[in-house]
Amino acid sequence: MNYSIETENLSLWYGDFQALIDVSVKIRDGQITSLIGPSGCGKSTLLRCFNRVNERYGNVTTEGKIEVLGKNIYDADVSLPELRKSVGMVFQRPNPLPISVYENILFGLRTHSPIRSMTRTESDQIVEEALTSVFLWEDLKDKLKVRATSLQLEQQQKLCIARLLPLKPKIILMDEPCSALDAKGTLAVEELMAVLAGTYTFLIVTHNMAQARRVSKECIYMFLGELIEHRETQALFETPQHPKTADYVQMRYG
């Protein structure tokens, strides 16, 4: 089995604060890996390294190596738009753009291709395929012109997943994708991930240990910026090797 993401001795600072300490991790292709741990322990920060969306905040310094799909993403010849095309991201709060459902789906493609390179039939088909893959087509096929921000939260979050698909990403990063959703929405997104895993590599940050157990094949426990343990999910929860992991998964901490 191959690895989609590999880091070696990755350290990251926000100004003077070190948020990641010597993280070395390998994320397997085509399965769901979850990142768990208490708040403020660098899970989201690690996730945000892999499409370099961290750099929006200015005062970030990184050390160490990150290889995504076999390519060091800090190499000078790496194009950020291309990286982000192959590494999609879903955020904590659903953040569809304030344009129509239809245009949300096509937004990514339109930013990456010259103007008017798609015909109407092509784009219609792309939208239908993307919405069908996230089981939204039936609900939204008559609402394609509706402003995406007016949908229900669950639909918004599914739409945020759907809009990644036309770009044909290899990896999808998810930063607590269900924390704004109710139980039904959470379940729906989880089912969706289970269906899409295999085609895409998922890396998901979650606070919800039950969710990590339900959805992920492998699980990574992080604590205060360090990677403590990375094993198969079941093994990590049932026979944690590290006492800190044991404290957390048995809910003595966090």
Partner 1 sequence: MNILRKKSTAHLPFSETVIELFIRLCGISSILFVFGIFFFVFREGAGFLFGGLDVGQFLTNVEWQPTSLNNKRYGALALIVGTFSVTLLAMCIAVPFGLGAAIFVSEFCSPKLRETFKIIIELLAAIPSVVWGFIGLTVMNQLIITVFNAPIGLTMLNGSILLALMSVPIIVSIAEDALKAVPDSYREAAEALGATRWQVVYRVLLPAAKNGLLAAVLLGAARSIGETMAVLMATGHSVNMPSSPLSWIRTLTATIAAELGEVARGGEHYQVLFIIGILLFTITFVVNLIADLAIKGIRQES
> How far apart (Å, rounded) are the C-alpha atoms in residues 221 and 129?
35
Q: Mind spelling out the 3-state secondary structure of 52-103?
A: CHHHHHCCEEEEEEEEECCEECCCCCCCHHHHHHHEEEECCCCCCCCCEHHH
Quick check: 89 binds partner 1 (CB under 8 A)? yes
Quick check: 88 binds partner 1 (CB under 8 A)? yes
Judged by beta carbon, residue 56 or residue 252, the one nearer partner 1 is: 56
Q: Within positions 139 to 158, which residues make up the interface with partner 1, using CB under 8 A?
A: none
CA atoms in the 13 A half-sphere facing the CB of 21: 11
Q: Which amino acid is at 79?
A: S
Go through 156-184 and write b for each residue having 16 or more CB atoms within 10 A of its CB, e for each that does not.
Answer: bbbbbbbbbbbbebbbbbbbbbbebbeee
Question: Where are the extended beta strands (E) located within the chain?
Answer: 3-14, 17-28, 32-36, 60-68, 71-72, 87-90, 171-175, 201-205, 218-223, 226-232
Q: Please select the residue that binds partner 1; options are 13, 74, 91, 137, rule is CB under 8 A.
A: 91
Quick check: 108 binds partner 1 (CB under 8 A)? yes
Q: Please select the residue that binds partner 1; options are 21, 60, 97, 246, rule is CB under 8 A.
A: 97
Quick check: 43 binds partner 1 (CB under 8 A)? no
Q: Please select the residue that binds partner 1; options are 99, 194, 195, 210, rule is CB under 8 A.
A: 99
Judged by beta carbon, residue 81 or residue 119, the one nearer partner 1 is: 81
Quick check: 184 binds partner 1 (CB under 8 A)? no
CB of 176 to partner 1, least distance (A): 14
Judged by beta carbon, residue 203 or residue 219, the one nearer partner 1 is: 203
CB of 143 to partner 1, least distance (A): 18
Q: Please select the residue that binds partner 1; options are 47, 53, 178, 181, rule is CB under 8 A.
A: 53
Judged by beta carbon, residue 80 or residue 235, the one nearer partner 1 is: 80
How would DSSP label each residue in 164-177? TGGG--SEEEEEST
Quick check: 177 binds partner 1 (CB under 8 A)? no
CA atoms in the 13 A half-sphere facing the CB of 104: 29
Residues in the site for partner 1, rule: CB under 8 A? 51, 53, 56, 80-85, 88-89, 91, 93, 95-99, 107-108, 110-112, 160, 163-164, 167
